[in-house]
Structure 1
């Protein structure tokens, strides 16, 4: 028996639990990995969710990039 959300589990139920657990922790990248590991019929059935998950991952990366740029700008010497 595997715990739902088990990182090594490969069945759809466990992967769905891992996605839920990852999102609860704010780990969108891990949720994306778990979603990608779902069987194709499951991914197809949840394609709308998968697209929203991908959009969230892109938004998170854009926010991190902006933060890096802002910190880099603050670190520049004043003229």
Structure 2
């Protein structure tokens, strides 16, 4: 059973190797696919805003815990 699986895998590997040939269908199709990448500066701004919000929330949680302790002691 394992030998049959290995024999069947040979064709799959051969097909994968053919993908990198310059005349493969994959190469010809991918040459026509256009990919629009987003403006990466937007992501850095979002990351910075997220970090600020996380810091504010962490600080607020710490302040609430201290406030709660001062009322219970």
Asked if these proteins are the same fold (TM beyond 0.5), I'd say no
TM normalised by structure 1 equals 0.41
Bigger RCO (CA 8 Å, 6+ sep): 1
TM normalised by structure 2 equals 0.44
- Which of the two has higher C-alpha Rg? 2
